[in-house]
Structure 1
C-alpha cells in the first residue's frame, strides 16, 4: 500500500511499539489517531510528533477492546482526517502465568489480545470492501507462531491473533482488504521489561526466555520493518528473521521441536537456580 496521504488508527500508542508505529507513519505523511488506556503516554507521544508534524495526530483515551471505544476512535479519525485506511491492532497485555489463572484473568487477556482485533475488523472491513481498499495490521508475537514459555494466556491469545489475521487475509484479500501480522521476539518495551521486577519465577522465566532467544530490538527498528512490509503488502512481518527458521523447524518435526523447547525451558530454570 502507498502510505502517503492515508489515515490510520494505532491502538496501544501511548508507548512501546505503538508509539514508534505512529511516529513512523507520520514521517510517511500518514495522519494518525492514537489510542491508549492511559492519557499520559498519549500526551507525550502527541507532543513529540507535533514538534515536527503539527496537526498530524489526534488522540483518544480508552479501552482498545471496547466496541464503544472503537466506534469513538473511528468517529474521531473521520472527523479530524477522513475515512480510515489502516488499523493497527497493537494494544496487548501479557496476563498472569500458569494454570492457576482465573477465568476473569483469561477473559481480560482474550478481550484485549483477540476480541479487540475482531471488534475493530467487524466495524471496518465491510466499509473497506465497499471502497475496495483497507489495511488491517495485527500485532501478535513470535509466541503466536512458536509458543511463550511461562505464560499460557499470552501464548494462546497470540496464536489466536495470528489465526484471525490469516483468516482476514484469506477471506478478504481478493476484495481489496489487506491484512498483515507482526510477530517479533524481544522488543525493548514495558511489556518485556516492566518497571517492577517480575512477580514470580514463572514471570521471570517468560522474560528470560524472550531476552535469551535473540537480540532485543528497539521499537524504532520494529516500526521500520513494519513500514517496509506495508509497502510489499507482506502478511507475516518478522523483525527477527530467525523466527521463520524456528517456525520451519517446528513444522518439520513437531515432537522434536517440543522436546527442544522443554530442554530450553529446563536450561533457563537451571541457570536461574545454580
Structure 2
C-alpha cells in the first residue's frame, strides 16, 4: 500500500516506537492522528512532526482500551483528514512480575495489550470490507513468539496479540484487509529499562533477558522495518532477524526450548 495521502491512527504515539512511526508516516506523505494516554506527549510529537511536515498530524489524549474513545479517534481522523486507511495498534503496557499479580494488573494488561486491538478491529474492519481495503498493524513483541522471563501478564497478552493479528489476516486477508504484526526484541524505550529500575531481581532478569539476547534498536529503526513490511504487505515484522531462528528452534523441539529457557532464567537471576 502506498502511504501518500493515506490516513493513519497511531496509538501510543507519544513516545518510543509510536512517535517514530508518526514521524516516518508523515515523511511518506500520510496524515496521522497521534493518540496517547498522555495528551501532552502526543501533542509534543505532533508539534515536532508538523514543524517538518506542516498539517500532517493532529493529536489527542485517549485511553484506547475503551471502545468509545477508539470511536472518537476514528471520528477525529475522518473529520480532520478522511476515512481511516491504517490503524497502528501500538499502545502497550509492561507487565507486572511473577505469579502473585492482582486481578487489576491482569485486566489492565489484557485491556491494553489485547482487547484494545480487538475493539479497534471491530470498529474498523466492517468499514474496510465495504471499501475493499484497509491495513491493521499490531505491535506485539518477540515475547509473543518466544515468551518473556519475569512477566506472565506481558508474555500472555503478547502471545494473544500475535494470535489475534494472525486470525484477522487469515479471516479477512482475501477481502482486502491487510495485517502486519510487529515482534521486536530490545528497543530503546522506557519500557525496556523498567525492569532494571524496578529494584526487583526478577525485574532485572526480565530486562537483561532482552538486552543480552540481541541488539537494542532505536525506535526509528523499528519504524523503518514496519514501513518496509507494509510496502511488501508482509505479516510478520521482525526488526531483530535472530528472532526467526529462535522461533524455529523452539518449534523444532519445544521441550528442549523450555529447558533452555529455565537455564537462561537461572543464569540471569544469579547475575541479578
Say yes or no: TM over 0.5: yes
Distance 1:50 1:65 in 2: 27
Q: TM-score, normalised by structure 1?
A: 0.97
Q: TM-score, normalised by structure 2?
A: 0.98
Partner of 2:93: 93
Q: Which runs of 5+ in 2 are unaligned?
A: none
Tell me how far 1:94 sits from its aligned partner: 1.1
Partner of 1:225: 225
Partner of 1:36: 36
Partner of 1:72: 72
Tell me how far 1:196 sits from its aligned partner: 8.4
Q: Residue by residue, what CA displacement relative to the aligned partner does 1:132-180 show, whole Å, maximum 9, x if unpaired?
A: 0000000000000000000000000000000000000000000000011
1:48–1:196 Cα change, 3 Å: farther
Tell me how far 1:195 sits from its aligned partner: 10
Distance 2:179 2:199 in 1: 36
- The answer to whether 1:107 aligns with 2:112 is no
8 A Cα contact 2:196 2:203, kept in partner: no
Partner of 1:203: 203
Tell me how far 1:194 sits from its aligned partner: 4.0
Distance 1:185 1:130 in 2: 36
3-state SS, counterpart of residue 203 of structure 1: helix
Extract structure 1 runs of 4+ deviating beyond 6 A.
Answer: none
Distance 2:64 2:167 in 1: 21
Partner of 2:188: 188
Q: Which runs of 5+ in 1 are unaligned?
A: none
